[in-house]
Chains A and B, each alone.
Chain A
Amino acid sequence: MIHRFANPTRFLRLADRIQPWAAGLTVVLGGAGLYFALFSSPADYQQGETVRIMYIHVPSAWMALFCYTALAAACATALIWKHPLADLAARATAPIGACFTLLALATGSLWGKPMWGTWWVWDARLTSVLILFFLYLGYMALNGAFDDPERGQKASAILALVGFINVPIIKFSVDWWNTLHQPASVIKMGGPAIHPSMLTPLLLMAFAFKAYFVWVLLMRMRGEINAMKIRAVRLRQVHAAEATSADAGAATGEAR
């Protein structure tokens, strides 16, 4: 099963079919989510209107963790099974995850200022998410740092896998340490502790972000497959040129 889509052409055909759905879902769910988030949901009794930041902050943070998990899974698949598309998937995922992590940090800061009285604190949750952001940047930098792309892939995949330890740390940081950040209220034992009027925009935005991820991921994988083919053609051209000059060298040798 895992090797069924190892063929880029077969993968691209599947991507062609999925991509319009992902694009449509992003627009429809995002539009509905924004309507509920900004117009059709109540202000919080404690936080007032600033609760509306939750509808973009929380889905961004979920995506930050989701993308890193996907990145680590793709890296493991690339290292263990040498699946030809796994490395491309990892490389396509990293910038999307980095963007969502940046958004979680930025929207969190804009929510923290009016609610906590500060833009930033060096507590466990915020610091571990900042580390997540640097892990994404480190992965991307290391991946492209070698002349031989295969070495870059291997080194960055190992970094991504070692960094995965940060994901459970982020998830449980609000339970393990004292922090300003509130604990989980949606994904927890005993069901969500959040009113349906607020859960609706939250889930709509979360699914819109997920659809956006699929949409952009497929676009970027298409670009990565092209880049791989370009590298292969270039390499063939170099080999052909070397063979011709070797032939020419042999010919002059004979002539002498």
Chain B
Amino acid sequence: MSGMETFLEMGGHAGYIWPAYGIVALVLAGLWLASRRFVRASNAELEDLNPRARRKRGSGDEA
């Protein structure tokens, strides 16, 4: 058995270890993507609603 296969086998516990790492990667990536979408959508909505906000945000003098 090659070194890679031994690694992937995880001493016979591959069926538990890889799903555990997989779900962590999936949930954390999913939350990150959802949060980025939230920021972008709210940025766009704010600029649609108030075109002056873009200028104000650039100069940083907004109250």
Binding site for B on A (CB under 8 A): 7-9, 13, 38-39, 43, 48-50, 52-53, 56-57, 60, 95-96, 99, 102-103, 106-107, 110-111, 113-114, 212, 215-216, 219-220, 222-223, 226-227, 229-230, 233-234
In the complex, which of the residues B17, B24, B27, B36 contacts A50, with contact meaning CB atoms closer than 8 Å? B17
Q: Which chain A residue has the least Cβ–Cβ distance from B9? A: A49
Q: Is the CB of A50 within 8 A of B42?
A: no
A-B contact count (CB 8 A): 96
Instruction: List residues of B whose CB falls within 8 A of some A CB.
Output: 7, 10-13, 16-17, 19-21, 23-24, 27-28, 31-32, 35-36, 38-39, 41-43, 45-46, 49-50, 53, 60, 62-63
* B4 CB, min distance to chain A CBs, angstroms: 12
Cross-chain contact A226 with B60 (CB below 8 angstroms): no
Tell whether A111 pairs with B42 under 8 Å between CB atoms, given A9-B60, A13-B60.
no
Residue of A nearest to B36 (CB): A219
Once A49-B17, A219-B39 are accepted as A-B contacts, the answer to whether A233 and B23 lie under 8 Å apart by CB is: no
| Minimal Cβ-Cβ distance residue in A for B35 | A219
- Give the residues in chain B near A106, CB-CB below 8 Å: 20, 23
Evaluate contact between A99 and B49: CB separation under 8 angstroms. Answer: no
- Which residue of the partner chain, among A7, A8, A56, contacts B24 with CB atoms under 8 Å? A56
- Contact: B35 with A216, CB < 8 Å? yes
Q: Least Cβ distance of A216 to chain B in Å? A: 5
Given contacts A56-B20, A113-B16, A114-B13, contact A226 B27 (CB under 8 A): no
Contacts of A223 in B (CB 8 A): 35, 38-39, 41-42
* A107-B23 in contact (CB<8A): yes
Given contacts A9-B60, A49-B13, A57 and B20 within 8 Å (CB-CB) = yes
| B16 touches which of A8, A13, A110 (Cβ 8 Å) | A110
